Chains A and B, each alone.
Chain A
Amino acid sequence: QKEVEQNSGPLSVPEGAIASLNCTYSDRGSQSFFWYRQYSGKSPELIMSIYSNGDKEDGRFTAQLNKASQYVSLLIRDSQPSDSATYLCAVNGGGYNKLIFGAGTRLAVHP
């Protein structure tokens, strides 16, 4: 069974701090990794994707991938209360480019 593991949280950070969200996966053959943000009562929204080892930056968001350790993370710099949401990690791991989702980490950014 291919798995994606995330700490459920809540992860509580003060406004302006760096939030660090982590994810591990079991399938060494996975090639694509995604972070989704889901506000309460809303559907998931794709915010970052990463395919190569190292860092990928997009505004305040940085995705980090380490395939040897089977580890992917999302850093949110200068966290804002509007970043408070559940963050889902997803990894491609099935036929037909299916994604496997983690259960999500709830982030709370307090003023």
Chain B
Amino acid sequence: DVKVTQSSRYLVKRTGEKVFLECVQDMDHENMFWYRQDPGLGLRLIYFSYDVKMKEKGDIPEGYSVSREKKERFSLILESASTNQTSMYLCASGINRGNYGYTFGSGTRLTVV
């Protein structure tokens, strides 16, 4: 089974801090994604990456950046955390062809105070 591991289950950070969320997958998937999920708003795509060092903005990239230096690792960076970035963050991975869905990590619940 594909494993997608997110480094933290719960995180509390202060406003203005730089925050790193890490995601690692073990199945050599090309694609990796970062979503945030808020009540009533569903899954919203922040960024995705289709190859090492390649990235594309999703629907809500403002206030975030990403890094993919190795195929298995995709990091989400909050440059200066704000309270409106309090959310559940979900990482997912998948292959970039064929009829396959994504596998999600267990999520990181981030609270910015």
Contact = CB atoms under 8 A, between A and B. Distances in A.
Interface string B94-105: 111111111111
Contacts of A32: 99-101
Given A97-B31, A97-B95, A46 B102 contact: yes
A49 B101 contact: yes
A31 B16 CA distance: 43
A104 B31 contact: no
Interface size class of B (residues with CB under 8 A): 20 to 34
A45 B90 CA distance: 12
A45 to B, nearest CB: 7
Interface residues of A, number: 22
Interface string A17-33: 00000000000000110
Given A49-B101, A98-B31, A98-B48, 18 more contacts: A34-B101, A43-B90, A43-B104, A43-B105, A43-B107, A46-B101, A46-B102, A90-B102, A97-B31, A97-B94, A97-B95, A97-B96, A97-B97, A97-B98, A99-B102, A103-B40, A103-B41, A103-B42
Interface of B: 30-31, 40-43, 48, 50, 90, 94-107
